[in-house]
């Protein structure tokens, strides 16, 4: 019996498959994607707005729009957005790139922890020794950290948010040490699971999907489109699915919004809010995709540093709040996730983004 979160079909399609599907697509289209200097406007609209920004707003269903959770986390739901904006203003006042450095590394931490969180969710029914738990944790962390270290030590033609948001580390030996640890950790994972005859395929596929998508998107290829696709699809789609699974299981007895026929509306609302948010970003700050936002053409592009120091952190509040809130709402000891009593020992602190 596999430890599915919702069902074999739903988990396979929406949580496990995205990393493999998007990586396969990247390999097939590699020559064309590598030739593109940047992600095309249409692909940007589909991937960045339709998946990456949209998944940020799925947190609303899990918090502000969930009556029980809104009561439970009332003080956090009020204080965290305010703290994110105030902290962002202070960082931006210290320097534009200081703000973007911090936001980029907060996002990276969030992405890395999500993969660990899914691995622990699928391992929730296993009786694991501390040693095996540490080995598996090292494997899933290094599946993400090694590509990131490679990125920091090898110039790439893409960025997380904007050029220069990651620091360059001119230490080739660091990458070689990380590679050795990466290989050792993956070998250790394989060894302990073979020894235990563990046939937990969802858990194994979470690790395998993380390895192929992160390594392919960052190390194998050096292109903006491939990185964007492997980065946001493998991260955003499973997150939106998990939120749906959680709310669906909670509401199954009483019906309500989270019925199968409402999935298009669930996703459509996320995409619509994401589209509006990116419109304000684009017209007030970037002016990169104005063709999609002619209805906001009356907005001026803000260039005054003092106004940007207030505006940019304000626009970033939804994603910063999403990163921080996930450190609280997916703590399974307290969240009441409907996956059985064995889930009580699993924590997804800062993990699901």
Q: Please state, as a whole number, how many other Cβ atoms lie within 10 Å of the Cβ of residue 260.
A: 6
Mean pLDDT along residues 163-173: 94
Is residue 17 predicted with pLDDT exceeding 80?
yes
Phi, psi torsion values for 331, nearest 5 degrees: -80, 105
How do residues 20-68 score in pLDDT, each as one tens digit?
Answer: 999 999 999 887 777 666 788 999 999 999 999 999 999 999 999 988 8
pLDDT in tens, 105-142: 999 999 999 999 999 999 999 988 999 999 999 999 99
Q: Is the pLDDT of residue 352 over 90?
A: no
Q: What is the mean pLDDT of the chain?
A: 90
Asked if 217 and 229 count as a contact pair (C-beta separation under 8 A), the reply is yes
- The tokens describing 291, both together, are 């063709």
pLDDT at 340 over 60: no
Give one DSSP letter per residue of 34-77, joined into a string.
HH-SS--HHHIIIIIIIIIIHHHHTHHHHTTT-HHHHHHTHHHH
């Amino acid at each position: 019996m596999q430890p599915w979160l919702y069902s074999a079909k739903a988990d396979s399609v929406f949580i496990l498959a995205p990393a493999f599907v998007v990586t396969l697509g990247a390999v097939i289209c590699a020559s064309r994607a590598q030739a593109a200097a940047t992600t095309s406007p249409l692909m940007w609209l589909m991937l960045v707005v339709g998946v990456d920004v949209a998944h940020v707003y799925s947190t609303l269903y899990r918090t502000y729009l969930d009556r029980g959770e809104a009561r439970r986390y009332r003080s956090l739901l009020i204080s965290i957005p305010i703290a994110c904006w105030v902290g962002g203003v202070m960082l931006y006042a210290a320097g534009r790139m200081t703000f973007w450095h911090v936001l980029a590394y907060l996002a990276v931490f969030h992405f890395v922890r999500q993969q660990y969180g899914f691995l622990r969710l699928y391992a929730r029914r296993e009786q694991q020794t501390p040693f095996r738990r540490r080995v598996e944790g090292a494997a899933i962390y290094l599946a993400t950290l090694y590509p990131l270290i490679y990125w920091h030590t090898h110039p790439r033609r893409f960025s997380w948010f904007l050029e220069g948001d990651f620091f360059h580390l001119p230490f080739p030996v660091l990458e070689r040490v990380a590679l050795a640890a990466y290989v050792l950790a993956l070998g250790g994972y394989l060894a302990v699971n073979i020894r235990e005859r563990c046939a937990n395929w969802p858990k194994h596929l979470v690790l395998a999907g993380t390895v192929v998508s992160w390594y392919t998107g960052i190390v194998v290829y050096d292109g903006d489109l491939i990185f964007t696709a492997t980065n946001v699809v493998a991260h955003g789609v499973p997150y939106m699915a998990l939120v749906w699974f959680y709310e669906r299981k909670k509401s199954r007895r009483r019906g309500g919004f989270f019925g199968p026929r409402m999935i298009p509306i669930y996703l459509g609302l996320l995409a619509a809010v994401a589209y509006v948010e990116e419109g304000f970003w684009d017209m007030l700050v970037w002016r990169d995709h104005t063709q999609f936002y002619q209805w906001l053409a009356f907005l001026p592009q803000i260039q005054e540093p003092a106004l940007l120091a207030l505006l940019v952190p304000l626009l970033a509040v939804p994603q910063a709040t999403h990163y921080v809130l996930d450190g609280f709402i997916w703590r399974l000891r307290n969240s009441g996730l409907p996956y059985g009593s064995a889930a009580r020992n699993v924590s997804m602190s800062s993990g699901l983004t």
